[in-house]
Chain A
Amino acid sequence: MQASEIYERIKSKFEDAIVEFKADAIVEPYLEVKPDKVKDICEFLRDEPDLAFDYLMCLSGVDYGDGTLGVVYHIYSMKHGHRFVLKVKVSVNDPVVQSVESVWKSADWHEREAYDMFGIIFEGHPDLRRILMPYDWPEGSYPLRKDFQVPEFYNGMKVPY
């Protein structure tokens, strides 16, 4: 199924959740949706038999550098062999996105990573801890954000050595 058809299907069900559908984006079209509806949309995408997006390829956090953070979902259907890109944008001051952990289990660690690196809070995630950074990494410091400053000292060690 083509991306535009998939978009039509989503539009017919979640008219109010859609922010933007960019059909002419370079390489792949994507659909931007509202962060508080993403779980419902994902559930719909997974459960609808002719969409059947059962495989979450990748979930990436992004810092766009202009005060917005984003989450990008690349999803794939093992059954039909089609793919789709969903996007969510939130402001850096209130970065709350619905968790899709209950839809695809693979989102579990990916969401933890996005939280760890960007501070995006996934609402409804059962175990939102840091995953790659050490547990004693300072609260509120998210290394992949564009405004991240490398600390001068880490645990008494000078950076860079």
Chain B
Amino acid sequence: MPEIFNMLIASFIPLLFILIYAVVILWVEIKVASHVQDRLGYMYTGGFHGIAQPIADLLKLLTKEHITPANSDKIFFTLAPVLVFASSYAAYAALPFTSTFIAANLNVGIFYIIAITSFVVIGILMAGWSSNNKYSLLGAMRSVAQIVSYEIPTVLSILTVVVAVGTLNLQEICEIQKGGISSWNIFKYPPFMLITFLIYFTASLAEVNRTPFDIPEAESELVAGYHTEYTGMKFAMFYLAEYANMFLVSGIAAILFFGGWSSPFGKFLSSPGWGVFWFVSKGLFFVFLQIMLRWTLPRLRVDQLMYVSWKVLTPISFVNLMMVGLWAILK
């Protein structure tokens, strides 16, 4: 009995984190967008700089009507957002928030995350297909092609790190980088790890459909892509999954290259409590970077996206992998 109880708590904490984080990051995204564009964004709800606006938005989405298009495939239509959210939520299980808290300390943690996030593709395809809308279908098709092809550079760059550290366990990867800034993976095997990080970051942008790779939901072409027909809470699920995914890939970037929950100052401020702080702030930094990129860049076209993946990222990450492997052997 207490085991089940423990499991419930362990699964509840990431959920709580996602919800709080989503509310915060929604606000940050809007505020960053507006300040980049020389405006103020929302200012009224909740006093200081519209701090309560995301909550109001969420409440609004919760109370909105659920519209299911008449000719849609109703079962898949309802199931799709759940699947999309569930798969990104499930990935949080293997994410080490600090040295003492990880919902499931798996031997093959990073492998598990790669596997489970692939489910997002199925959810998106389901959403696009079942909506019975041409724009949604095009968006879903693009999305599937995109995520499937960007899986390869992502995995290759993760593999490079794995070769360097020699483990698939995320907790252990963090342990290895414990000695402060200089022992972070990004500074190992210069400059190959840096390139690996750049490849991983670029590919992860595509995996979570962020600008400049947001073509599945390219609003000026496909209206809203696969979630054109979604309203209310179902739409909010997609939204939530997108933001959850953003942090997921950023968190993995932090773990793989920037020491995860370990303090940048070695032993200083390295208690488990601080660990959460370091991990979350590192993750949020990359989320912030993603947001900044979104408000800076135009988006690529679907074939250019494929070009970037297959002709730029994949070959370079192969070269990287080999170089790091050689170096590791020779060392």
Chain A–chain B contact at Cβ < 8 A? no
The interface of chain A, by Cβ under 8 A from chain B, is: none
Interfacial residues, chain B to chain A (CB-CB below 8 A): none
